Structure 1
Amino acid sequence: MARVVTVDDAADPRLADFRDLARADRRPDRPGGRGLVLAEGTVVVRRLLASPYPPRALLGVARRLEDLAPDLAGADVPAYVTDAATMAEVVGFHLNRGVLASADRAPAPDLAALLAGARRVALLEGVNDHENLGALFRNAAALGVDAVLVGPECADPLYRRSVRVSMGHVLRVPFATSGLGAAVTALRDAGFTLAALTPGGDPGALAELAGLERVALMLGAEGPGLSGEALAAADVRVRIPMAGDVDSLNVATAAAVAFHATAGPAGSAS
């Protein structure tokens, strides 16, 4: 059971995981920081507590921690309860959601093991917007994508904003960080067809992917899209058929359409 501890001093050192989150140079979820995972709000905190990420502590107002009581029954962590004003002083801004949780990162999965049981995966190159990345992971969870491979130029999926926008689903969709060459090799070794989403692709090819046993959907950043190297590595180039003179969609939206189109006759993946 979580240990509920009342705190009324914003300078209490036990609240270090949550301090000054508005200051970019001190946020613990930033690259170069302490590498923590931070969840905001009861829904996302609940998903964190059910995830492979080991929780460290919670901070919240009494009402929000009471809402989480059933989820905290099996959690051996401190839950610091305070008022909204003290919480805002600690965090550095007013938090409407009223509760935060911190966790350590889970060990990165082995790439081959991650792909072994997957049918559909997303391979991301240069997706460097945290909100797009969070939305993409939420779409992946909703539409049955088995895993996500994140290129080194992508934003951090476990950055606080990505976790929040994903509604915590980034904590349940398996992912690994991999360079393009290693990812392509691993996908080919595992029998995947690599499909690059690009405005210059075949609008009729997307639907055909649903009948394939294993598909990796390659998605690039807003604006530049996939690199020449990524396009050259693809087995097929596809695009989403669109009306008028619109040639592209937001990457998270495009991903959702592609995830749905390739789900197969049952409407979902494995």
Structure 2
Amino acid sequence: RGALASYKRRAPVPLTDLLTPDVRRIAIFDEIVDHTNVGAGFRAAAALGVDLVLVTPTCADPLYRRSIKVSMGTVFQVPWTRLQSWPGDLRHLQDNGYVAAAMALTDDSITLDELSGRKDEKLVLIFGTEGHGLKPNVLNQADLTVQIPMSGGVDSLNVASSAAVAFYATRP
């Protein structure tokens, strides 16, 4: 019951319908299983001007009540869809001129400052699941890997926190 009970789930919008000329920054949430992190990621995307959010088939539901609450309703504000072919849809984005930047702790990662300095006109930021991060097939398909330099003996941030930092650093 309530407002969300009557909300009719829509079929995923085809990716090709969402790639308009004004879509410059895209976030992909891959296998993020915590609804709180999904909601916080959407909130950061809305607050920091991300044009489109894509969730992979195994990502938690952005329309789950906890995701909606944590997002403060921004899941209804930011354009988004669930990808149907992952990571195949990443190739489609690259073919349309997007640079795919996977947020990952790898030996060949560039820093977030280096990514920001590139000023890529079309950018996809990919965030992986809590704990294990992105799978090797996603990392191999990405154009580059990016990490946020840490100090104080901390190796990484929570996925929603890293998304907010990356969204801020790469804003136009």
Q: Same fold (TM over 0.5)?
A: yes
Structure 2 partner of 1:247: 155
Instruction: Give the distance between the partners of 2:6 and 2:160, measured in 1 at CA.
Output: 26
Does residue 1:208 correspond to 2:117, yes or no?
yes
Displacement of 1:205? 2.6
Structure 1 partner of 2:99: 193
SS in 1 for 2:139: helix
Displacement of 1:175? 1.0
Structure 1 partner of 2:129: 221
Instruction: Give the distance between the partners of 1:197 and 1:159, measured in 2 at CA.
Output: 25
Instruction: Give the distance between the partners of 2:31 and 2:128, measured in 1 at CA.
Output: 6
SS in 2 for 1:199: coil
Higher CA-based Rg: 1
Deviations 1:65-108 (A, max 9, x none): xxxxxxxxxxxxxxxxxxxxxxxxxxxxxxxxxxxx74223443
Deviations 1:127-171 (A, max 9, x none): 011000000000000000011111111001111110111000001
Does residue 1:144 correspond to 2:49, yes or no?
yes
Instruction: Give the distance between the partners of 1:177 and 1:213, measured in 2 at CA.
Output: 24
Does residue 1:133 correspond to 2:38, yes or no?
yes
Counterparts of residues 1-270 of structure 1 (less than 5 Å) = 17-18=1-2, 38=4, 102-116=6-20, 117-178=22-83, 179-200=85-106, 201-203=109-111, 204-209=113-118, 211-264=119-172
Unaligned runs of 5+ in 1: 1-16, 19-36, 39-100, 265-270
**Which residue type is aligned with residue 87 of structure 2?**
G
Q: Which runs of 4+ in 1 moved over 4 A?
A: none
Higher RCO, Cα 8 Å, sep 6+: 2
Structure 2 partner of 1:84: none
Instruction: Give the distance between the partners of 1:242 and 1:206, measured in 2 at CA.
Output: 16
**Which residue type is aligned with residue 169 of structure 1?**
T
Deviations 1:150-209 (A, max 9, x none): 111100111111011100000111111113233212211221000010122222533224
Q: How many residues align?
A: 167
Instruction: Give the distance between the partners of 1:245 and 1:202, measured in 2 at CA.
Output: 19
**Which residue type is aligned with residue 124 of structure 1?**
F
Deviations 1:23-73 (A, max 9, x none): xxxxxxxxxxxxxx72xxxxxxxxxxxxxxxxxxxxxxxxxxxxxxxxxxx
Contact persistence 1:150–1:177 (CA under 8 A): yes
**Which residue type is aligned with residue 148 of structure 2?**
I
TM-score scaled by structure 2? 0.90
Instruction: Give the distance between the partners of 2:114 and 2:125, measured in 1 at CA.
Output: 12
